[in-house]
A and B are shown apart, each in its own frame.
Chain A
Amino acid sequence: MERKELTCIGCPMGCSITVELEGDEILSVSGNTCAVGDKYARTEVLHPERTVTSTVTVTGGEKQRVSVKTAGNIPKDRIEACMEAINNVSVSAPVKIGDIIIENVAGTGVSVVATKNIS
């Protein structure tokens, strides 16, 4: 059996939650004060996901960098690979909010899109 400790981000209470699990099966969730914490702990332990934001080099535009984000959440353990891909691309102006900068980043099925207009 494995034990994982985490802090709920559902509200400012920030309950310390303990999850006990056997492989992929959750045996118990404790320490949470409400149902939000239970749900958070279950996904966070089995499939933690994050949105990644960064910037990409722009050539020929009014600015040198354009801000970008993953269009959805990606698995937490793919963040590093995603950052590497982001740091290896550059785009040329103009760029519009929502333009796809990298398709299917690091094999996650999620695209990296621009979050700023650069003319």
Chain B
Amino acid sequence: MGFLDIRNVTKSYGAVEVLHQVDISVQEGEFLVLVGPSGCGKSTLLNMIAGLEGITSGEIAINGRVVNAVHPSKRNIAMVFQSYALYPNMSVAQNMTFGLEMHGVPKPERDKALKDVAALLQIEPLLDRKPGQLSGGQRQRVAMGRALVRDPDVFLFDEPLSNLDAKLRVDMRTEIKKLHEKLKTTVVYVTHDQIEALTLSTRIAVMNGGYVQQLGTPQEVYDDPANVFVASFMGSPSMNLIPARLRLNGQAAVEIADGAGQPVALPLTGTPGGAQDGDALLFGLRPEALTDTEGADRHARNIVTFRNPVDVVEPAGSDTFVTTTLGGKDAISRMRADTRLTPGQTCDFAVNMDKAVLFDPRTEQRLRLT
């Protein structure tokens, strides 16, 4: 029993089921991020929590009360929309207190709530303006302010930062995080940006095609992905997925082809259960687990090195991304910014096998080591 319970919820439009058996329990004060590609059903799920979309089957409970049949305004939630949805004919102050007015809160209390939130978000000078006279970032603040004055049980955010420019997005991201740490209100936050998901959340639900692919803390989702989709969706640049074979004679190892097509054996820290010698695998390796030897994680227990040619070198400010060929495919390695590699050169690569993950190439599910 959590604070917000989504129990076996499905959603169908006519004969098409767009959400399948979603089951998520959110504790009070948690920051849950729903992340996934466009059309995966994030907004639909959020709108169902808000009561803006009907629930086809299953139930949603907020604070111990099943809300399937409860009107949006009676669920004690507040929502921030992607377009901000500020009422164009009302001033900022009216926008922010409209919900309180509709809920019959007396004027003095409304004014007090407005004052507190305006101070918190530093938007006091804007209170008399109309939304049309605000910049994008200011509108975003007002939209958050409108949600905050309600002092709800749950905040719902639907891609609140996607209309802002890159710099402002990062600033507001930090601000939302600070706000959550201060207020400790339960949040459900929709985004398709995996960085936002990783930085803001206490837990992430990675969605695809109407299914929750994995539900876990940012670290679980990043280091311990349940399947190929989660592995490649989370993280930028995304995880290298290298075609490999399992070798079980002697110590268990994966065998990949290096740039020259020669087999390289990388010893595993365990054996994948049920797998046979010679089975095809997808060997998943984050770019930061494939480095030059000096850059390798000093706390890692299993580092394997081998030589391979460098194909492309891309400096990206704080890091340099080096592309090399492994298993016949491009693999990206994250190196220090001051690496002096040039394309065509051969270099020692260090693989951190602690961080390596294996997938079954047919089911795309994770193969866990035992």
Q: Do A and B bind each other?
A: no
- Taking beta carbons and an 8 Å cutoff, which residues of A are in contact with B? none
